[in-house]
Structure formats: C-alpha cells, structure tokens
Amino acid sequence: MFSRGFSRISRAGFNNYQWRQSCPALYTAVYHQLLWNSHPLEDLIPKGRGCMEINSCSSHLFHEARRQIHHNAASTIEDQSDPFSIVADELLILADRLRVMVVAEVPKLGSAAEYFFKLGVEGKRFRPTVLLLMATALNMPVPISSPERLSTARVSDSLATELRTRQQCIAEITEMIHVASLLHDDVLDDADTRRGVSSLNSVMGNKLSVLAGDFLLSRACVALASLKNTEVVSLLAKVVEHLVTGETMQMTTTSEQRLNMEYYMQKTYFKTASLISNSCKAIALLAGQTAEVATLAFEYGKNLGLAYQLIDDVLDYTGTSTSLGKGSLSDIRHGIVTAPLLFAIEEFPQLRQVVQRGFDNSADVDIALEYLGRSQGIQRAKALAQTHANLAAEAIDSLPENNNDEVQRSRRALIDLTQIVITRTK
C-alpha cells in the first residue's frame, strides 16, 4: 500500500584503523558492549556531561563497532524486520549514555533521576527507536551549491558521523524529557505503579519525584544547548511548554470542554504527540533537510503520537494492570474523559449527565462502563487511531525517493511501527 521506489545514495564508511589505533581499549569495550553488554559504557567515559561531550568520546568507536557487527552478522541483520531490532545496538549505547548523563552530585537525587533508566525498567525506548530510524530514513543528499560541495569521501564520512552523533543526542534528550514528564504525571495522578514496578513517588515521595523530574529537564536543557542549534532548541523548548499546557488543560477543564472531541485531541497533541513530532522535525533540521522534508517528519511524529495515545486510552478500558504495567481504568477513576467515552456519549446522550458529575461516585463509573460496553466507543477510537496511523505512514511514503538499502529498511520500519502502535496490547 505504501511501497514506492527510492533513489540510491552513497553509504558513508568509517576509518577502522585510525580509531582502533588511537584508543584500542575503548574500541574493544564498545565492541564488546554491543555484542554482550559486558562492559558498561558509563565506566569508560567522563561523568556528568552533556550528550555531545559523552558522544565525542565514543561516537566513532560506536559506529565502527556497529559496522563490524553488521558485517559479521549480515545475513541475520538483513532478515530482521522488527523496528526495535534494527536499532538495538544503538539503543544499548544510548541507554548507557543516559545513565551517565543523569548522575547527580547528591546521591539521593541521582538515585531518583536514574530510577527509570535502570536495566529492566527502562521501558520499550519507543521514542529513541523512532528517532534513530527517522535519522536513517532521512539519510539523503542535502542540496548545496557547487562551491560548497565536499570533495573527499573522508570529509563526508566525518560529517556523517558527527551528524549521527547529534541525532543520537536528540534521542537522548527526548527520552529524558519523556521520563521527566512521567515522574511529574505520577505525582499529579497519585499513581503507585509504572512500567510494572512501584512508581518513584510511591517509593521516594512526591517531593523527590518532582525534583528528579526537574533535574532530568535541566540535564536535557544542557544537552540541548550543546547542539548549538537555536531552531532545534526552540522546538524542544516549545515541547516542554506543551507538556505543561496539556497537563493543565486536563486538570482545569470545564464540563463542556471535557465532552469536546476537538479539545481532547488538542490536549492529546500537547501531552503526547508534540514531543515525538517536534523531535522528528529536529532530526530533519540537524540533517539540513528542506522545509518540506522537515514537515513530513513532523507529520509522521504527530500522527504516530496521536495514534499511540488513542490506543493507550482504549487499553485503559480493555487492558489489565498486569499487561499495562500500571492501573487500569485509571482515567475514568480520575474523572478524565477520553475518546472511547466521548464516542459512547454520541450514541447515548444520557451518558453526558453521568460524565458531567465527574465520577466521584463509583456507581457513576459502573454506569459509564455499562454504556461504553453497549456502544461502539472502543471500536471508533481504534478506527480513529488507524486513521492517524495511515497518515503517519503516508508521510514516510511521501519522502523523496531513495534506493539506499538502509534508508528503505528504516522507512519500512517506520511504517511498520504505525501498525505496531495500533495493534499493541500493552
């Protein structure tokens, strides 16, 4: 449905000998880290620095190690269709760098900040996966005037490595902003579980949870400043504003606003889709792509984010606490009205009065659930998610043609993600 031809571009190589000779111990450690996760990267690089400083210690080595692994296991890698597997090696490195970046001078703050970056509770790394795939999907020649054209492959390769490092930094910044928002949300919602474990606020208290979230945002700001790109800084600063705006919209709605689908979708964009859409656009801007390409990247992220949240809202009704890693029916119990219930109200107008009472009475929750079960609310919310998933896939399909194998593979993976998002059960 979404397949089309792509024009071929050249693939950048890396100078193996130079980096192996300049720092053989670090090269070996990074290589082993990618293969067996046996040498923690945080033991090898300076503590408490921004992503660009950390990346400068390891980016060349990482890329060469990754190339070597791909060479040694080419047949296996080429057969992989799982989007998460395609960038699995980079995600390992990013995870280690994130654990380094959230080290704090005050041990208790550091322990709180790294709570959801520890092995086993770091989550799916959905957003970094999207951004790394987007970086490869946009690995296209950038139109430049003849006098500015690069004359040697060596310079081109060096710039390609630097660009990938900066794009990885966007993935790290995005994950820190995301985790910070989770910490703050759990305090606001008085949540006791997250990702299948006790929430940070239930373990360390609300005050430290808020401070840990603030600390992650500050570290994200430092990393963002290290990119030295004012347009990208402005984009991601706007994301933080959107997160606050969306949460405030959810907390301070009037009765009419709570029952308005347009208001719900705007809040959903601010709370969920803004981060991934603007981060995708930042990936394109760092690559020097055209405004048209940057807009397509933004549209992919926006529609993927909306589809993701719509399914999240469905799962709050259909999932279990075990499968979700957090409490089910949490939205309605907090008086939050989402797409399934809004669609149910269209079928059963009498449900409007129940919703307007705010669900302080558990009997009203039961009544609303009964109406929801009789309605097409769940199905219509899923259909709306499918619509946004299709729009996201169309954005990728509209990118300039490119025949490069890795570019095509990443674009297919981004399209596959749109379906993974709407068919997930947790």
Query: What tokens does 220 get?
Result: 């994200």
Among candidate residues 290, 316, 313, the one with its CA nearest the CA of residue 388: 313
Q: Quote the pLDDT of residue 101.
A: 86
The answer to whether 345 and 259 have CB atoms below 8 angstroms apart is yes
Euclidean distance between CA atoms 309 and 259, whole angstroms = 17
Residue with tokens 């300049």: 22
Write down the pLDDT at residue 298: 99
User: CA 171, CA 165: separation in Å to the nearest integer?
Assistant: 10
Among candidate residues 108, 116, 103, the one with its CA nearest the CA of residue 43: 103
Distance (Å) of CA 163 to CA 59, 195, 235, 413? 10, 32, 18, 21
Residue 403's SS3 state is strand
Helix (H, G, I), strand (E, B) or coil at 197: strand
pLDDT at residue 53, rounded to an integer: 59
Interior CA angle at 416 toward 411 and 419, to 5°?
145
> Which residue type, as a one-letter code, is found at position 409?
R
| Residue 401: predicted pLDDT | 94
DSSP, res 319: S
* Rounded (10°) angle between helices 126-137 and 88-101: 120
DSSP 322-334: HHHTS-TTHHHHT
Of 204, 199, 168, residue with least CA distance to 186: 199
Give the start-to-end residue ranges of the domains of the chain. Answer: 16-141+150-423
In this prediction, residue 169 carries a pLDDT of 95
- Residues in the chain predicted with pLDDT less than 70, given as ranges, are 1-80, 119-122, 141-159, 195-196, 320-327
Q: What are the pLDDT digits (tens) for 259-310? A: 999 999 999 999 999 999 999 999 999 999 999 999 999 999 999 999 999 9
CATH of 16-141+150-423, one of 1.10.600.10, 1.10.8.420, 1.20.1740.10, 4.10.490.10: 1.10.600.10
pLDDT score, position 45 = 47
**Three-state SS for 146?**
helix
In this predicted structure, what is the pLDDT of residue 134? Answer: 98
Q: Are 81 and 187 in contact (CB under 8 A)?
A: no
Q: How many CB atoms are closer than 10 A to CB 186?
A: 21
pLDDT score at 326: 47
Dihedrals phi, psi of 193, to nearest 5 degrees = -135, 155
Among residues 201, 202, 170, 172, which one has the least CA distance to residue 184?
201
- pLDDT value of residue 158: 59
CA–CA separation, 63 and 47 (whole Å): 21
Question: Residue 329's closest CA among 368, 376, 377, 381?
Answer: 368
Written as one letter, the residue type at 362 is S
Task: Identify the pLDDT of residue 378.
Answer: 96
What is the predicted pLDDT for the residue at 142?
52
Query: Under a CB-based contact definition with an 8 Å cutoff, are residues 353 and 346 in contact?
Result: no
Name which of 200, 195, 203 is nearest 212 in CA terms: 200
